[in-house]
Structure 1
Amino acid sequence: MANHNIPIQLFFLFFYRITIVKDTKMPNACLFTLNKEDHTLGNIIRSQLLKDPQVLFAGYKVPHPLEHKIVIRVQTTPDYSPQEAFTNAITDLISELSLLEERFRVCVTYIVCFSSAKDDVI
């Protein structure tokens, strides 16, 4: 019997989804730890944070390949909090992904209608 968690058990065990810790190494910076996430979410959040001109630094890391979590470090200008930057980045990502989903559905509908119309002609 192994002494590590089976991946399905990770979803049933109690974990905080996100923890926020003020970074003592840099001024106006925070560490956001996202449990049960990987490079996919870390990279898109980092990219979105870097689009904000008030974000001075944004980076992420996976502490260990066997740990299912990412740590995102955000440093902002003194008049803008890292929590606010993070929240704005998530909100912008949600709206971008909603727009992408809507456009994808329109394209799929168009392709389905076009292919069925093409079959009727033949």
Structure 2
Amino acid sequence: MNQPNRHEWFVLEDGEKGVEVIEDTKIPNAATIKIYKQDHTLANMLRAQLLALPCILFAGYRVPHPLNPHFLLKIQTDGSIRPVEALEQAGNALLKLIADLQMKFKAEFSYKDVEGDAAAPEDPYGALPTGMGSSAWGASSRDYADYS
């Protein structure tokens, strides 16, 4: 088929740049930033984080074509900072937010280990039908992934 290998869409090759900044000459305090090997996930998070900054007048993105693994992020500021600096602030805030989320996620799973099976909660999926023991479902008697 003509479809490239999946890793080629997200892994930068040796010497390949990940970001290209194009200063806008028609709009003051604006720039278009082309970010390679990324998709809507990062673009939307960056856009939302940029719009949370008080110095941002406009932030938006577009993916020119679904088969091209890059997006264009347009940023316009009020002039107090440059668009690239605003992107750096938004990226740092996003990294902090993700680190906080990861910490909360790990803490929640550590509570599960502390609680133990003393008050074993009722199985939300119910009991297995009669005759379908662990031999039919593998080592566990549950029909969903249990990562404990």
Question: What range describes the TM-score normalised by the shorter chain of this pair?
Answer: 0.7 to 0.9
3-state SS of paired residue (2:31): strand
- When structure 1 is superposed on structure 2, of 78-87 and 47-56 the one drifting more is 78-87
Alpha carbons of structure 1 residues 31 and 43: separation in structure 2 relative to 1, 3 Å? same
- When structure 1 is superposed on structure 2, of 9-18 and 74-83 the one drifting more is 9-18
Matches within 5 A, 1:44-55: 44-55=45-56
Unaligned runs of 5+ in 2: 121-148
Percent identity of the aligned residues?
A: 33
TM-score by length of 1: 0.86
Unaligned runs of 5+ in 1: none
Q: Is it true that 1:60 corresponds to 2:61 in the alignment?
A: yes
**Once the two structures are superposed, what CA deviation does each residue of 1:44-91 show, in whole Å capped at 9, x if it has no partner?**
000000001110000000010100001100000122110110000001
Alpha carbons of structure 1 residues 9 and 53: separation in structure 2 relative to 1, 3 Å? closer
Q: Is it true that 1:36 corresponds to 2:37 in the alignment?
A: yes
Alpha carbons of structure 1 residues 51 and 66: separation in structure 2 relative to 1, 3 Å? same
Q: Is it true that 1:101 corresponds to 2:102 in the alignment?
A: yes
Larger Rg: 2
| Bigger share in helix | 1
Does the aligned pair in 1 maintain the 2:12–2:18 contact within 8 Å? no
Matches within 5 A, 1:1-122: 2=2, 5-10=4-9, 11=11, 13-14=13-14, 15-118=16-119
Whole-Å separation in 2 of the counterparts to 1:107 and 1:12: 34
TM-score by length of 2: 0.72
Whole-Å separation in 2 of the counterparts to 1:72 and 1:116: 49
